[in-house]
């Protein structure tokens, strides 16, 4: 009996301990559940929502680029692309293998995608293919259950409406390279493009805009069920250019596939109305992606379609430089407008003989006659009297030999050589023969087509320091608010008039070198100057016999053809420079192009609204005036 009592007490204690333990465990469990469901409820709700709701960055629409009248030159169009999210794809190689059976994928695509998957964070989408057809989109959507991590993204793609006609001004956008990745999350978005050349590159940040966001609900597999909220990004700013699209397209069609460049500017404002470099390229190819064959065709083309010759091409200006030589000599007083110099076809300096383009010579000519007939002997002597330092200083005052800060990548400086420059660069003294060669715009003298257009504008507008302008109201202010006059280049008006008379005679005079290219419409006449630049040395035998004509030479050995001009003669508004690489004579190849362009510019001006006047003060820049003596 005693034993049974002891056993009962032991059992009761154990039962009580067990019950206590269970109660403790139960209370702990209840407490934990309370903590999780009540105290931490908001935290776990957020975590659950984060698994259920994805926040995605949206690329903003890229800003448009328009011409001076607001007509679109670059805008955006809808683009369907296939993207893959590595963390949702599982085995990425298997997913890509399945996808390649639906849309074509090359080895290059595979390597790129796998490389990006290693470099980027796992949740960042990677573009597989862009610019998909509706059929491609449908096939991918039907097979989505077998393609984990693959989805169709609808975005916008850059569209250059006029392609080759505006390529060198617009530039282009292309995919972001690894070196260009920065803290901006937009750069990691699939299909995001940035400016790589031209206006697209210079104004990339303004055109880029700010990103938006999209909240989407997804299931356990990461598939989108529905969009919950969307906040569109802020579109990029619109960039308005000074280009007249009608004139730009006219010039582009006129040049065709010729290796040439043309710049047209307003002589009073400096507005660049047309800038064409030919042959060109389709900037849309860079946006969509070039294959190797397309890239090779561009870089191996002997006419350099990727180079903007209007600002990057550096050429001897030839006889188009004679106006600068004439003004330097007039200002120095070493020659007067009436001074006559006899041209027999050549002149000598020591044992060296310098030839005129006209074998029999021009006889005795004064300055206006020398410009009209482009007499080389006259300008050999004029340059010798003026001296290279004064000639170069005048060239710089007219806009040559220094960057004009147009704002496009690749603008070259050209060269206005001096005695100091040669000693510093070549450690050699300047020679008088080099001054005489510079007198006809050859030797060390180099200019760009843009500089030649500005030189012509400064002569035509009466000697004001007009600078080229490509973007309208870059500072956001109305340029017409400021009426301050442009600064003068400091050349006497009477000297400029002598040069302008000579340029008028070049086209409209009886002996003018460009008489055949004159404009016959009354009130639209043009003035100008031809130029023909040798690109090889002519032997004495060739000069005497004339065995080889220019058009019989290999293309690379033919002379460059140049022309600068302005119109109308009585009230100049437009200036043009034309350079035709290896085109032959300036009068035969370049002058007719300039005639057609200036005539079209004037006709368009009559049929379209006049642009607002430009602030002359805002468009002026300080320019050093160097009138140093030259004793060579």
Residues with Cβ within 8 Å of residue 143, at least 6 apart in sequence: 98, 102
Burial class for 395, CB neighbours closer than 10 Å (0-12, 13-18, 19+): buried
Residue 479 near residue 314, CB atoms below 8 Å:
no
- Can you tell me the distance from the alpha carbon of 594 to that of 597, in angstroms, rounded to the nearest whole number? 5
Nearest Cα to 551, choosing from 559, 540, 562?
559
- Can you tell me the distance from the alpha carbon of 128 to that of 563, in angstroms, rounded to the nearest whole number? 50
Residue 98 near residue 273, CB atoms below 8 Å:
no
Residue-wise DSSP of 326-374: HHHHHHHTSS-TT--EEESSEEEETTEEEE-SSTT--EEE-HHHHHHHT
Q: Is 277 a catalytic residue?
A: no
The single residue of 278, 319, 334, 577 carrying the catalytic annotation is 319
Cα angle, residue 598 at apex, residues 596 and 603 outer, rounded to 5°: 95
Phi and psi (nearest 5°) for 227?
-95, 130
239-240 and 65-66: which strand pairing? Answer: parallel
Rg (CA), the chain: 36
How many Cα atoms are found within 13 Å in the side-chain-facing hemisphere of 546? 3
**Which residues does the annotation mark as catalytic?**
319
């Amino acid at each position: 009996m005693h034993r049974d009592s002891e056993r009962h007490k032991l059992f009761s204690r154990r039962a009580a301990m067990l019950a206590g333990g269970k109660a403790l465990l139960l209370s702990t469990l209840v407490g934990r559940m309370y903590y999780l469901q009540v105290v931490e409820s908001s935290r776990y709700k957020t975590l659950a929502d984060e698994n259920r709701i994805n926040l995605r960055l949206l690329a903003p629409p890229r800003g448009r680029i328009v011409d001076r009248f607001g007509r679109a030159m670059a805008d955006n169009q809808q683009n369907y692309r296939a993207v893959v999210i590595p963390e949702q794809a599982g085995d990425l190689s298997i997913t890509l293998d399945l996808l390649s059976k639906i849309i074509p994928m090359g080895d290059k695509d595979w390597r790129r995608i796998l490389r990006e998957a290693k470099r980027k964070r796992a949740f960042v989408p990677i573009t597989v293919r862009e610019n998909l057809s509706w059929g491609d989109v449908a096939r991918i959507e039907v097979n989505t259950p077998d393609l984990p991590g693959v989805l169709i993204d609808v975005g916008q793609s850059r569209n250059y409406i006029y392609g080759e006609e505006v390529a060198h001004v617009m530039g282009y956008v292309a995919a972001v390279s690894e070196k260009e990745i920065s803290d901006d999350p937009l750069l990691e978005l699939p299909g995001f493009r940035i400016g790589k050349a031209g206006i697209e590159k210079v104004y990339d940040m303004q055109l880029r805009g700010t990103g938006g966001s999209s909240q989407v609900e997804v299931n356990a597999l990461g598939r989108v069920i529905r969009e919950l909220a969307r906040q569109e990004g802020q579109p990029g700013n619109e960039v308005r250019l000074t280009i007249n699209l009608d004139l730009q397209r006219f010039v582009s069609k006129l040049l065709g596939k010729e290796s040439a460049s043309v710049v047209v500017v307003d002589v009073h404002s400096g507005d660049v109305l047309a800038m064409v470099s030919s042959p060109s390229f389709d900037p849309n190819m860079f946006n969509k992606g070039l294959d190797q064959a397309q890239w090779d065709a561009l870089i191996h083309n002997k006419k350099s379609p990727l180079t903007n010759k209007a600002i990057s091409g550096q050429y001897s200006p030839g006889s188009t430089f004679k106006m600068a030589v004439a003004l330097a000599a007039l200002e120095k007083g070493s020659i007067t407008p009436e001074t006559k110099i006899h041209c027999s076809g050549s002149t000598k300096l020591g044992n060296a003989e310098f030839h005129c383009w006209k074998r029999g010579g021009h006889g005795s000519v004064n300055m206006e006659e020398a410009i009209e007939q482009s007499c080389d002997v006259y300008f050999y002597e004029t340059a010798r009297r003026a001296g290279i330092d004064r000639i170069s200083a005048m060239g710089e005052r007219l806009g040559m030999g220094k960057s004009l800060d147009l704002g496009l990548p690749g603008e070259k400086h050209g060269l206005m050589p001096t005695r100091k420059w040669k000693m510093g660069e070549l450690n050699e003294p300047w020679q008088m023969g080099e001054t005489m060669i510079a007198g006809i715009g050859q030797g060390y003298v180099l200019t760009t087509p843009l500089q030649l257009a500005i030189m012509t504008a400064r002569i035509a507008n009466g000697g004001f320091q007009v600078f080229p302008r490509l973007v309208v109201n870059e500072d956001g202010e109305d340029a017409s608010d400021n009426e301050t006059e442009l600064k003068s280049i400091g050349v006497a008006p009477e000297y400029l008039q002598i040069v302008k008379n000579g340029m008028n005679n070049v086209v409209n005079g009886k002996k003018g070198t460009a008489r055949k290219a004159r404009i016959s419409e009354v009130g639209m006449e043009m003035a100008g100057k031809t130029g023909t630049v040798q690109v090889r040395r002519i032997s004495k035998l060739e000069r005497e016999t004339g065995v080889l004509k220019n058009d019989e030479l290999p293309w690379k050995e033919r002379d460059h053809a140049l022309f600068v001009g302005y119109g109308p003669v009585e009230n100049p508004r437009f200036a043009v420079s034309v350079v035709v690489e290896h085109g032959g004579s300036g009068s035969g190849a370049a002058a007719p192009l300039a005639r057609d362009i200036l005539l079209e510019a004037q006709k368009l001006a009559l049929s379209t609204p006049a642009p607002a006047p430009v602030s002359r003060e805002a468009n002026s820049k300080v320019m050093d005036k160097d009138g140093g003596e030259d004793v060579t």
